Amino acid sequence: MRDIVVSLLILGALPICFRKPFVGLLLFSLLAYMRIQDLTWGFAREIRWSFYVSVVTFAGFFASSRERRFMLNSVRTAIMVCMVLLVGVSILQNRGADPADLPGFAEFSKVILIALFTTGMVNTRARLRMMLWVIALSFAFFGYKSGLMGVLSGGTLVILRGPGGMLQDNNDFALALGMGIPMLWMIGHSEKRDVLRRVLLVCVPLTMLTILMTQSRGGLLAMAAGILVLVVRSRNQLAGLAMVGLIVVGVSFAGPKIYLDRVQSIADYEQDDSAQARLAAWRTAREMIKENPVFGVGFGHFQDNYQSYNPETVERGYAQGGTAVAHNSYLQIWAECGSLAFLLYLLLLVLSLFDLWRLRHQARLRYHSSWILNYTTMFEASLVTFMLGSIFLNRAHFDLFYHWVALILAFTTIARREMESPINYPGRSEGRRTLQAVRGVGFGMGQGRRGFNRRPALESGF
């Protein structure tokens, strides 16, 4: 029955995706993050719904006379295009035209293509809001569902596998949920409707519990980094730190032992086989980089070359069965694709963070509190979550990262366009005069004079 319902919903939405490509992008994101196809048990689970939705969406875009821009002209979009080219060169340089490399390269190209398309389609505040709601509610679904099951199990449930797709691995699942926590927190605090706000805020601790249930220590540290950013950017940092401290103390005394033992093992990395395997993988990646600094060992071929650069792993059992990975996104892309690809990858991160910081500074000069400041905090916290989690996880080609970079670019473009309007965001010196001239018109999502004479509560920007 589930298969029939999901199939009818997606098939029924395809004509709308053709007529309105942005709806197609939303549906594609829902399939990627909520994985509704993996909630079925039969034929619908095996159908390539994302592929069909993307084909119809792109066909609708090129046939549409209303949608004119495929992507934004930006340094970051150019970097993503260059990364696709460098990945292709790394494959050809090391393996030649090997058909076995085509699926991996096609998948990475698809990720970048969707990210580029997002920068063009998400061109208004309303569209940005809808996209963020789709992603946030997708993570809220899994956080609420899994967290509630963990509570009902008395803290004995362990998640060793995510829902599927890019979230199939438990570490990837934990990282994605960690990036989702700032979204749920900011949306919950900005939402005006009480029922919806309470539901979203309840999802935050349940999502945190779900991350603990995955037993991903990298995901746990990444979640902590994102929460720290939220605290630092809050208005009452002392209260935020106190609340975090109380949560840590409470979990330490009352948390399930199976989860606490996993967390405490972080300090005992010298006796932990998994931690030692990571250190060995990092040393091996360093040797690959030293021997292949320009083009790397080839995209997706870290495992194939692992034993060649670290023969002792056969004796220790780290690489038996071909399961060795870099366990570090930065070393992964550096070892596989070369130094230039690695530098471009870092540049994407740095430019995105710098753009958010600069926008925050510009917004605070104009307005005390607005949806723009809420969004900058959310995007920054989620991006920092990924950056720290990537130190321990093999996620250089994580779909959500490139999509997040695209959404940051779209957000900063939309925000600056709105800030140029003196009606929406007047400067402090001209605020009173402009406000009187447009009496009755709100400032973004503000109310009346709030934001000029005193600091208001967080406004609903979602």
What 3 state SS string does the chain have? CHHHHHHHHHHHHHHHHHHCHHHHHHHHHHHHHCCHHHHCCCHHHCCCHHHHHHHHHHHHHHHCCCCCCCCCCCHHHHHHHHHHHHHHHHHHHHHCCCHHHHHHHHHHHHHHHHHHHHHHHCCCHHHHHHHHHHHHHHHHHHHHHHHHHHHHCCCCCCCCECCCHHHCEHHHHHHHHHHHHHHHHHHHHHCCCHHHHHHHHHHHHHHHHHHHHCCCHHHHHHHHHHHHHHHHCCCCHHHHHHHHHHHHHHHHHHCCHHHHHHHHCCCCHHHCHHHHHHHHHHHHHHHHHHHCCCCCCCCCCHHHHHHHHCCHHHHHCCCCCCCCCCCCHHHHHHHHHCHHHHHHHHHHHHHHHHHHHHHHHHHHHHCCCCHHHHHHHHHHHHHHHHHHHCCCCCCCCCHHHHHHHHHHHHHHHHHHHHHCCCCCCCCHHHHHHHHHHCCCCCCCCCCCCCCCCCCCCCCCCC
Confidence of residue 2 (pLDDT cuts 50, 70, 90): confident
42 versus 20: which is more confidently predicted? 20
Confidence of residue 260 (pLDDT cuts 50, 70, 90): low
Share of the chain above pLDDT 90, in %: 44
The average pLDDT across 301-306 equals 86
Q: How many CB atoms lie within 10 A of CB 91?
A: 25
Q: How many CB atoms lie within 10 A of CB 445?
A: 19
pLDDT value at residue 314: 47
Confidence of residue 394 (pLDDT cuts 50, 70, 90): confident
pLDDT value at residue 248: 72
Residue 413 reports pLDDT greater than 90: yes
CA distance linking residue 403 with residue 408, whole number of Å: 9
CA distance linking residue 282 with residue 152, whole number of Å: 39
The average pLDDT across 370-394 equals 92
pLDDT value at residue 188: 83
Q: Which of 52, 221, 31, 290 is nearest to 135 (CA)?
A: 31
Residue 429 reports pLDDT greater than 50: no
431 versus 247: which is more confidently predicted? 247
The average pLDDT across 317-322 equals 44
The β-bridge partners of 161 are: 169
Q: Which two tokens stand for residue 327?
A: 């366990």
Name which of 40-49, 201-210, 249-258, 324-333 the model is least confident about.
Answer: 249-258
The average pLDDT across 151-157 equals 81
Residue 82 in contact with residue 344, Cβ under 8 Å? yes
pTM given for the model: 0.86
The number of C-alpha atoms within 13 Å of 290 and in the hemisphere containing its C-beta is 7
Q: Which two tokens stand for residue 289?
A: 């980089």
The average pLDDT across 232-253 equals 76
Name which of 36-45, 46-55, 449-458 the model is least confident about.
Answer: 449-458
pLDDT value at residue 422: 60
249 versus 390: which is more confidently predicted? 390
Q: For the chain, what is the mean pLDDT? A: 82
The average pLDDT across 387-415 equals 92
- Please list, in sequence order, all residues whose beta carbon lies within 8 angstroms of the beta carbon of residue 305, skipping any fewer than 6 positions away: 288, 297, 298
Name which of 52-66, 113-127, 189-203 the model is least confident about.
Answer: 189-203
Q: Which of 328, 322, 324, 356 is nearest to 342 (CA)?
A: 328
pLDDT value at residue 217: 86
CA distance linking residue 430 with residue 410, whole number of Å: 28
The average pLDDT across 277-294 equals 88
CA distance linking residue 178 with residue 172, whole number of Å: 10
Residue 97 reports pLDDT greater than 80: no
User: Per residue in 322-377, pLDDT tens?
Assistant: 457 888 999 999 999 999 999 999 999 999 999 999 999 998 888 766 889 999 99
Residue 229 in contact with residue 381, Cβ under 8 Å? yes
pLDDT value at residue 315: 47
Q: Which two tokens stand for residue 354?
A: 């710098």
Q: Which residue has the tokens 């509630």?
A: 148
Encode burial over 95-117: b for 16+ CB neighbours within 10 A, e otherwise: beeeeebeeebeebeebbbbbbb
C-alpha torsion sign, points 139, 153, 221, 320: negative
Amino acid, single-letter form, for residue 20: K
CA distance linking residue 130 with residue 158, whole number of Å: 32
pLDDT value at residue 181: 94
Residue 399 reports pLDDT greater than 80: yes
CA distance linking residue 199 with residue 261, whole number of Å: 30
241 versus 248: which is more confidently predicted? 241
- Identify the top-confidence range among 94-98, 181-185, 217-221, 392-396: 181-185
Residue 96 reports pLDDT greater than 80: no
The β-bridge partners of 169 are: 161
pLDDT value at residue 432: 41
Domain positions in the chain: 2-63, 75-266+340-417, 269-337
Greatest alpha-carbon pair distance for the chain in Å reads: 78
Q: Which residue has the tokens 């003196």?
A: 422
CA distances from 382 to 114, 182, 259 (A): 19, 6, 24
Q: How many CB atoms lie within 10 A of CB 357?
A: 12
Confidence of residue 317 (pLDDT cuts 50, 70, 90): very low
Confidence of residue 178 (pLDDT cuts 50, 70, 90): very high
246 versus 219: which is more confidently predicted? 219
CA distance linking residue 35 with residue 33, whole number of Å: 6
351 versus 244: which is more confidently predicted? 351
